Structure 1
């Protein structure tokens, strides 16, 4: 994914919504080459491939479900028992989606011809994921009731699930371009967008709402209860069964056509990636992608959790996302028109100022949290900031995506686009762990009374320790809230980077011709005969000179 991030100071979902899986990647990677082929073909007719299109949507939906949990719901469920430092550990589980370029050449190159190039990977991954989810569903609810959660075990478990989904995503992206007929390839990215958004939406917005006993008691039940209608365990088991049922369909019903497309060997792909990264202006661009999102990463990673800590309800967060969703689609349309020009990074740069502004607004929204609980006015403020921040995020995403498409070398389009998207994703992923850790590091919040058992000071860093302090008759005194220190530091860094690095580099990159981003592969090939011919001439001249002597 090119760019993006959490669209609001209220909702932390940057990696999932845009920086990671929710919009077209590999299917668009080949759009330039595919479109030239399709221009000579018949008009698109989706009815012809409707069943295959539905299969693609289902495959992408299945991938989106675990991602919506990891990037969205589970951090909110864990926050009541984990500090920000421990949430930082769990955030490591999102890394595989930002690093899948490292093993994507392997997925593209190694397969069993008897099974199919893509099904060789999709079938075993779906089986493993389905069994894993079903097994995890039988124990996870008991684990979440523990006073001390095994955060490293949870992080490792969901890291494995995200790794499986990322690997399947590589195979499904490739299959999407051969599963559909040539005239319908344009619908591959549509299937991806619908499927991943649907899976994420189900696991974040819908799951959080039905998991909340407040939401269920208010809108669904006539008799209040202490638990929501939907618990994490049964939810995981349901989707585990869906993974297995889809896998059976792939094994016994859906066959894969023989892929006639030639593939480069693994080493050649890695060498190509290295050559792209070593281009002088690409090195500048990589640095830009690695630091560009630091300015608002605290807002995206921490603000939603901080609101939850203050007393904002999970179902209200889900409702804010629900309201924001149609605005994302509308903003995407207008952002695409705005970015459709010779300088697509220009709107990206303007939206950068907006995202820094909303990072500041996010801290103000947290600071003005009502002492008596969430009011209607405050909820409207949160939703409004969510929608407006979403606009800035969408403009940046579309602008950077347009720039990626503009500069990608058609001769290696898939590899080039995947590299750029991976770098952009990584730029929004790597700072998250350190920002979450820093919030606890700079926070000074202790209980007025010591622990009666250990006689040690109680650090009020999560709901468990705050309740412990309250139960012994103490009060949590916060001398310093690290969220504001880290958030301010991020904004200051982002503003300084914008003035002294990002803005000058963007202006320079916008002036470069598209040709300057292309690998000089063909020129090198053409140079060899010329060099041989020139060497022959030089040799002839030398021989002639010797004869004259």
Structure 2
């Protein structure tokens, strides 16, 4: 008689614990005894784990066994922990039970990941505050230039201030178009991500080998380069003859280097999260990413703008802390804030380097016993073998840099991925004014920097936490439907709210009225909601489609495309506004809101967004219904799933035909 493999074990409903066969058949009797022993051991394991996890709600934690029977009896023989190791690796019915006695240990790991992602968000928040400083500096430069030539200009045309305002607007948009280039490393990190995965010092730790030096270098640059940034922005002088000094390219280079270091840190932390967290909790790594980056961003963006604003410092912060009045400057300078955050990064890095140890990867027996065959590992995953973690990916450290880049290129050639790339790279252009220009425009029209900064923690951050939770109840397991619905609001409703808010600012409407604050809150909250809905849907879809055999690199590839989609429109729209703003002021008509290029450009972009929906919404629906095979390369499979997969990957069969054939059962 052939032995039945574990995955085909007979249902245990016919052989309850403690029963034996009375038909005289020795084979059946032996099978009944073995089955009874397995059942009792499983029950012992579950009861023991329930005892360890007392106080926690076990609903959904201890899953039913393979036959739908939840065996939570009280027959605990005291050997649950030992039996757990045996039967989790041999019985499929037990391996399906999610039992993790060390789940509580991940609480510290959650906290550590959030701190590391917080460090990543600090340079991002600081860079987000630079456009406001550029705008303020350019306005001072324009005012100084107008004052020097007011007599002659006013006598000739009577429009010196209008011309100065036009020049300031154009210079501001052009400067911000250049500065927007500093965030490109997050859109290019895929180029060096496999290197971060493959090269490291084993004794120090695979992730710490990159994390510690990268974060240390970033902290030192922030401390040592603080004076450099202030000099490049011309913030170190109040002399009218020197106020026109500003070097945007120098500031852009400084933050470009910081972004490069943080993009490298992001690769290392994302990879560390896969081994730092237990198998059961790996899916919570992106949540730590979102929380940490938001905390770091808001600490540096909101904290700096609020403390740097002169008006807020005089009316709130100095009286609060009992400090002497100084109307000439804010409570905190850019130089001081950079140094403080750089010191915080160095201290945190030192603590991680000294007190956090990496878990050494288990030796891969398939490498030794199978001649280093990568195919052996993949086959062991597909067959449910116990050769390591079946969800662990084959990364660059195991297959080499050349093979990693080869596999990434194979992913890029998949029709489904190509369509997803096109969607991710284009959908942010119609929303780029709201994303990148709205608040700059609001400050230009009279909204204070401190008010702009305080909108983030009071509205954007809470909504970023609450909205994904509510969305999961409304669009459960349908992320792309959530994505397209949020996008419809993003290109129609949000532009109307933005224009209404800016019209009130332009008209000089009192800021202490309910109508004004309703407009500001509606515009800010509306954008925060749709942004959160789309980001949450995007990340959920990515996580559900990536090939586990190349999970980390695959996820980095998709995130890179998404980052690129948000990066290039920023420089483009800033440059376009700078070009249009140069000729919009012509004497008396200069103050007309109707002639502001923002409104006309927003109208064009909204129509472009509606056109985008008609073009790509059907493709999104198609992508949502594709099976897993459409997202996998099958490069390391022992045998291909069929010639149709090869045809699709080579481009001989398009996405629609492949999907139709799959639904008709013509493709296995």
Could you say whether these structures have the same fold, taking a TM-score greater than 0.5 normalized by the shorter chain as the test? yes
TM alignment of 1:357-436, pairs within 5 A? 357=492, 358-369=494-505, 370-371=507-508, 374-376=511-513, 377-436=515-574
Alignment correspondent of 2:312: 215
Tell which structure's C-alpha radius of gyration is larger: 2
CA deviations 1:424-455 (Å, max 9, x no partner) are 12111111111100001112457789xxxxxx
Seen in structure 2, the aligned counterparts of structure 1 residues 256 and 388 have a Cα distance that, compared at 3 Å, is same
Sort the Cα spacing of 1:319 and 1:444 in 2 relative to 1 into closer, same or farther, 3 A: same
Is the aligned partner of 1:272 residue 2:328?
no
Tell me, yes or no, if structure 1 residue 74 matches structure 2 residue 130: yes
Q: Deviation of residue 154 (structure 1)?
A: 0.5
Give the distance between the partners of 2:490 and 2:641, measured in 1 at CA.
Answer: 47
Match of 1:129 in 2: 218
The aligned runs of 1:103-502 (5 Å cut-off) are 103-144=192-233, 145=235, 146-182=243-279, 185=282, 188-222=285-319, 224-226=325-327, 227-260=329-362, 263-324=398-459, 325-341=461-477, 343-357=478-492, 358-369=494-505, 370-371=507-508, 374-376=511-513, 377-445=515-583, 480-499=595-614, 501-502=615-616
SS at match of 1:220: helix
Cα pair distance change 1:445/1:218, threshold 3 Å: farther
Correspondence for 1:88:
177
SS at the partner of 1:391?
helix
Offset, 1:379: 2.5
Q: Which residue of 2 aligns with 1:537?
A: none
In 2, distance between residues paired with 1:508 and 1:190?
27
**Range with greater deviation from structure 2 (85-94 or 182-191):** 182-191
Which deviates more, 302-311 or 419-428?
419-428
CA–CA distance in 2 between the matches of 1:235 and 1:159? 18
* Partner residue, 2:82: none
* Cα pair distance change 1:49/1:333, threshold 3 Å: closer
8 Å CA contact 2:432, 2:569 repeated in 1: yes
Cα distance change, pair 37–219 in 1 and its aligned pair in 2 (3 A): farther
Distance verdict in 2 for CA 1:73–1:38, change over 3 Å = farther
Distance 1:138 1:50, change over 3 A: farther
- Change in Cα spacing, 1:527 to 1:347, as seen in structure 2 (3 Å) is closer
Q: What are the residue-to-residue correspondences of 1:529-540 with 2, within 5 Å?
A: none
Provide closer, same or farther for how the CA distance between residues 447 and 191 of structure 1 changes in structure 2, counting only shifts above 3 A: closer
- Which structure carries more relative contact order (alpha carbon 8 Å, separation 6+)? 1
1:368 Cα deviation from its structure 2 partner: 2.9
Q: Tell me how far apart the structure 2 counterparts of residues 392 and 174 of structure 1 sit (CA, whole Å).
A: 29
Question: Contact 2:232 / 2:250 at 8 angstroms: preserved in 1?
Answer: no
Deviation at 1:418, TM superposition (A): 1.8
Partner of 1:468: none
Kindly indicate whether the alpha-carbon contact (under 8 Å) linking 2:584 and 2:597 is maintained by their aligned counterparts in 1.
no
Aligned to 2:32: none
Question: Which of 94, 97, 105 is the matching residue for 2:186?
Answer: 97
Alignment partners' CA distance in 1, 2:343 and 2:226? 11
Q: SS where residue 437 of structure 2 aligns?
A: helix
Structure 1 stretch 328-337 or stretch 360-369: which is displaced more? Answer: 360-369
Q: Which residue of 1 aligns with 2:57?
A: none
- The Cα shift of 1:285 comes to 2.1
Shift of 1:503: 1.8
- Does the residue aligned with 2:430 lie in a helix, a strand or coil? helix
Deviation at 1:172, TM superposition (A): 1.5
Partner of 2:80: none
TM-score by length of 1: 0.78
| Structure 1 Cα separation of the partners of residues 490 and 302 of structure 2 | 23
Tell me the distance in 1 between the aligned counterparts of 2:555 and 2:180: 25
Unmatched segments (≥5 aa) in structure 1 = 1-35, 450-473, 529-549
| Structure 1 position 511, deviation (Å) | 3.4
Instruction: Measure, in 1, the Cα distance between the counterparts of 2:295 and 2:120.
Output: 10
Count of residue correspondences: 465
CA distance in 2, matches of 1:333, 1:354: 19
Query: RMSD of the alignment, in Å?
Result: 2.8
- State the 1:286 CA deviation: 1.6
**CA pair 359-264 structure 1, distance change in 2 beyond 3 A:** farther
Whether the 8 Å contact between 1:59 and 1:172 is mirrored in structure 2 is: yes
Aligned to 2:85: none
Aligned to 1:26: none
Secondary structure at the residue paired with 2:330?
coil
What's the CA shift string for 1:402-442, capped at 9, x where partnerless? 22223222222222222112111211111111110000111
Answer whether contact 1:339 1:347 (CA < 8 A) is retained: yes
* 2:193/2:553 contact within 8 Å kept: no
* Residues 373/141 of structure 1: CA separation in 2 closer, same or farther (3 Å cut): farther
TM-score (norm 2): 0.65
Structure 1's 407 and 254: CA in aligned 2 closer, same or farther, altered over 3 A?
closer
CA contact (8 A) 1:62 1:199 kept: yes
